[in-house]
Amino acid sequence: MEQIDAVLAGNRRVLARTISEVEDGGPDARALLGALYPHTGRAHVVGITGAPGTGKSTLVNALARAYRTAGQTVGVIAVDPTSPFTGGALLGDRVRMRDLAGDPGVFIRSMATRGSLGGLARATADVVLILDAAGFERVLVETVGAGQAEVDIASAAHTTIVVEAPDMGDVQAFKAGVLEIADLFAVNKADREGADRTVMALQAMQGAEPLEGTHKRSNVQTSFDPEKPGPQADGSWLVPIVRTVAPRGEGVEKLREWVELHAAYLHETGQRSQRETTQAKSAVMHILREQLLAALLARLPGGTGQLAAVVGAVARRELDPYAAASRLMSQ
């Protein structure tokens, strides 16, 4: 297919169009992803998340520049799960473009909420696949906001950076429950007062026993030695804390080096292929749910009228939703 060849060759115009087609879920979306998929699996995917006000976007831009300086190509996906407004996303694009414009080794794309969050996480994963197939060696996925949406989207990343800033009140990661997903902490705006407190709060958090009811990552140690983060003798990973001042580029190369070290760690411990398997399973399950539902609805003897009748009976409380589902499935 001509379009596929153009994407694989890195034709930017065709690449942008292909991403739009897949985002919109058009008739060719499935065939396009199927044809591109064998060419994926090479990019290292980095998720960057954190609360508004942490200077996350500036840090992502600085990290992209650091990768360019190091000679690697970079795709950037900025996801805003809190906003259905495309206006904001497009504005963000323009600000970014001014910074990294004209560099063929960088491709930037913004995405806003369309429909459900589950749909957004899936669409983000699809755009990652396309940039991966197009040959971008590193793909940075930036999510705005904090919460479960970020956790879901981060599941498509190999390395997740949680960004904090001083004087934001509580350390945000704690509140949002994103502590567990961090492979790296960046304390951005580290030239401000309070940076030491933020670093110490993160260190204390890593040393603390997990709260009741949280899941504990097997590769996070409970006895924390801040002197020796990164890969440990027992095979675990102690989350490094990197201080950055994004507008001046301070600490950004160090952050990039930690990402690369984490990438190597994932390869060596076999965790990268474990993550690939988890992501493959999640993708197959998602597609199965949607296609099984579509197939059932298509084969109902009474068509959409039959569905409407059953839904109406549920709305009138004559039938409970589980009984309704069983009835439709037995057709």
Q: Which of 216, 292, 302, 309 binds a second copy (CB under 8 A)?
A: 292
Site string for a second copy, 170-209 (x = CB under 8 A): -----xxx--------------------------------
Quote the CA–CA distance of 33 and 18 in Å, as a whole number. Answer: 9
H or E element at residue 314: helix 303-315
Kindly state whether residue 87 participates in binding a second copy, applying the rule CB under 8 A: yes
Question: Token pair of 141, please?
Answer: 């996925």
Quote the CA–CA distance of 151 and 153 in Å, as a whole number. Answer: 6
Nearer to a second copy, 67 or 150 (CB): 150
Question: Token pair of 197, please?
Answer: 């407190």
Which residue in 127, 187, 179, 192 sits closest to 150, CA to CA? Answer: 179
Give me the sheet containing 106-112, strands edge to edge.
106-112, 74-80, 138-143, 44-50, 159-164, 184-187, 241-243
Residue type, 119: G
Nearer to a second copy, 37 or 250 (CB): 37
Kindly state whether residue 269 participates in binding a second copy, applying the rule CB under 8 A: no
Which residue in 71, 44, 57, 223 sits closest to 139, CA to CA? Answer: 44
Nearer to a second copy, 52 or 207 (CB): 52
Q: How far is CA 92 from the centre of its chain?
A: 18
Site string for a second copy, 224-263 (x = CB under 8 A): ----------------------------------------
Quote the CA–CA distance of 218 and 222 in Å, as a whole number. Answer: 10
Kindly state whether residue 82 participates in binding a second copy, applying the rule CB under 8 A: yes
Site string for a second copy, 298-327 (x = CB under 8 A): ------------xxx-xx-xx-xxxxxxx-
Residues that bind a second copy (CB under 8 A): 30, 33-34, 37-38, 40-41, 81-87, 112-113, 116-118, 120, 145-149, 152, 175-177, 211-215, 273, 276-277, 279-281, 283-285, 287-293, 295-296, 310-312, 314-315, 317-318, 320-326, 328-329
